[in-house]
Amino acid sequence: MGVGLLAALIGGGVACGQAALVASFDSLLPDARGINHFNRPGTLTILSADGQVVHKIGPVTREKLTPETIPPLVQQAFIAAEDRRFYQHDGIDPVGIGRAMVRNLRKGSVEEGASTITQQLARTVFLSQDRTLIRKLKEAALAGKLERQLSKPQILTEYLNVVYLGSSAYGVADAAWVYFTKTPEQLTLAEAALIAGLPPAPSVYSPLVNPNLALERRAVVLRRMQEAGFISIREQQQAEAAPLQLKPAEPKYWDSRAPYFSSWVQQELPKVLSPEQLEVGGLTVRSSVNLAWQEKAQSAVNTYASGSMQGALVAIEPGTGLVRAMVGGTDFKDSQFNRAAQALRSPGSTFKLFVYLTALQQGMLPERIFRDSARCFAGYCPKNFGNRYFGAVSMVVALQNSLNTVAVGLLQELGFDKVIETAKNLGITRELGRFYPLALGATEQTVVDMTAAYAAINNGGIYVKPTPFEEILGPDGELLWSRRVDGDQGSRAVTSDIAALMLWMLERAVRSGTGGGAALPDRPVAGKTGTSEGGRDLWFIGSIPQLTTGVWLGYDDSRTTKSTSVVATYAWRAFMAPISKDLPVRQFPPKP
């Protein structure tokens, strides 16, 4: 009996047996129609607020194709290389199975596979990669279900989108870019054949790893394409003679378009998802970031963080807590440390917010008069900037000019506990010391926490925890987490009247005080500067009605900047002036 006939008989028998098994547990198999949502475990895709790709992390297909966008040349190359009878079989190829079984029986081991494109797709999406009889039976059953639920073009498209092709390329579009810096429709015959030869051993056949082996595989694919009638002998010979002209590129979205924001997303994910959900992976995050604003934020920080100085910026939407931009340094490739979310720095006079808010809550009015003079508090002797003292001043003027002696005197009058309670209600969770330098920002905080506290005042006194998440989707596209349902809905920190009074005072601090460098020509700004002792930290946190933005500038080693917080106001304005053009002009609530 000839080998071909034996292969056909064995293959036919196996196929019949598999058909019976398929019918018995078809209902237990996954629904193939959700295959277009497939993501490999360990992958994470971050989308911007308007749906643009910010970052793709892990073994993820970075660019997917549709049946209409896959060039015929690419389809033919893969069909010739992997499954010549793709359009004739129903997911399982009896002739191919028989041929492989005969060879494997003769060798006494698994030497040859005969998986169709449909089976390979089923294995990639639904099954493990181990070689066991049970897995092969499941693979065959799933292949049959795929063929019944999807069309041939759909199956081929999904396969070409998920097949691993070496060098971190998942799918044809990724491979075309990684090896040739081309889109699939730009590939030549030689290039398409080379890529189609990679699936059996992508890490070995990658032209970036073994160019000679890649050329040998290319020749095999070209020969099969000619035998299948896809190309002529002349075309085969010309393509075989073509030199290997690689133009390597990193996979698309390999680098994040908002790297510090992306790192914060990964840091925050364990706080909202279970360990099991994180382990499965395949997550898609619909995030809060505005990429146009993010670009302006990075530019503003880099412009004013001169030399080896560093900077951070956080922009928060007050009503939702959504972080629309986050910069954690001047260059993510040089330093991945996120100074917006991880660095603890002295907030300087921006901490006075909590002191003055507490005073307003205790019934003090902005017009109340205080004595501004050089004095000491239990051995602590604060000084005003430039050692200037104004004598009798109102509370609003004291804030406007950032008078340190008045702030410390207020802390003494109010008591530590009340001021600390106000700070806690506004999201300050770090332990706060009961000492007088507290009023001037002696306890270190993060930029994101301080900005969120100011955003609460801009939100009528309601604190909302800052978040990068709008929605989080699982590997099958199911909704795992939604800000509107699962996110922080806000908590009342101060009354709306107190918040409005505080905004009025902060607006005066910009209009006529230390925050003047942040003033915008067409709309109100309310904010506060901060400079830590020795000029080591330069801050400005300011709001327009729709957005609250915090800026910090300084050195990682905490040496003096030899500057003042005026520089931070300029950085704030460099970001806010262009992006506020996207927002209508609004006014803060009137003074109660």
Residue with the two structure tokens 């896959």: 70
What are the start and end residues of each CATH 3.40.710.10 domain in the chain?
291-582
Q: 291-582: which CATH topology?
A: Beta-lactamase (3.40.710)
Integer Rg of the chain from CA: 32
| Spatial separation of the C-alpha atoms in residues 294 and 239, rounded to whole Å | 46
φ, ψ dihedrals at 347, nearest 5°: -80, 0
| Spatial separation of the C-alpha atoms in residues 120 and 116, rounded to whole Å | 6
Minimal CA–CA distance to 312: which of 323, 300, 327, 297? Answer: 327
- The structure tokens listed for 118 are 């449909």
The pLDDT of residue 29: 63
Bridge pairing between strands 283-287 and 44-47: parallel
- The structure tokens listed for 438 are 């507290």
Residue with the two structure tokens 């889109």: 183
Which residues are within 8 A (CB) of 403 and not within 5 positions of it... i.e. 6 or more apart? 372, 384, 389, 390, 393, 397
Q: What is the pTM of this model?
A: 0.81
| Spatial separation of the C-alpha atoms in residues 256 and 263, rounded to whole Å | 9
Query: At residue 128, what is the residue type?
Result: S
C-alpha distance from residue 352 to each of 400, 407, 443, 489, 564 (Å): 11, 7, 12, 26, 17
The pLDDT of residue 107: 54
The Cβ of residue 214 has, within 10 Å, a number of other Cβ atoms equal to 23
CATH number of 1-21+63-163: 1.10.3810.10
Q: Let me know how long the chain is.
A: 592
- In 485-558, DSSP assigns E strands to 491-492, 526-531, 537-544, 547-554
Q: Which helix (DSSP H) or strand (DSSP E) does residue 408 occupy?
A: helix 404-414
* pLDDT, averaged in runs of 10, over the chain (592 residues): 42 48 56 70 90 89 90 97 92 72 57 74 73 67 88 95 92 96 97 97 93 96 97 97 93 88 95 87 93 98 96 98 98 95 98 99 97 95 94 97 97 98 98 96 98 99 98 91 97 98 98 97 98 96 99 97 97 98 96 94
The Cβ of residue 280 has, within 10 Å, a number of other Cβ atoms equal to 15
Partners of residue 116 on adjacent β-strands: none
The pLDDT of residue 38: 74
Which residues are within 8 A (CB) of 549 and not within 5 positions of it... i.e. 6 or more apart? 313, 314, 315, 316, 325, 451, 541, 542, 543, 572, 575, 576
What does the buried/exposed string (b/e) look like for 186-201 if buried means 16 or more CB atoms within 10 Å of the residue's CB? Answer: ebebbbbbbbbbbbee
CATH number of 164-215+225-254: 1.10.3810.10
| Spatial separation of the C-alpha atoms in residues 313 and 296, rounded to whole Å | 11
The pLDDT of residue 168: 87
| Spatial separation of the C-alpha atoms in residues 546 and 317, rounded to whole Å | 6
- The structure tokens listed for 141 are 């059953």
Partners of residue 325 on adjacent β-strands: 315
Residue with the two structure tokens 């030899």: 562
The pLDDT of residue 101: 66
What are the start and end residues of each CATH 1.10.3810.10 domain in the chain?
1-21+63-163, 164-215+225-254
- The structure tokens listed for 106 are 């003769």
- In 66-175, DSSP assigns E strands to none
Partners of residue 463 on adjacent β-strands: 491
Instruction: Let me know: does 346 contact 536? Beta carbons within 8 Å.
Output: yes
DSSP secondary structure of 42-74: T-EEEE-TTS-EEEEESS--SS---GGGS-HHH
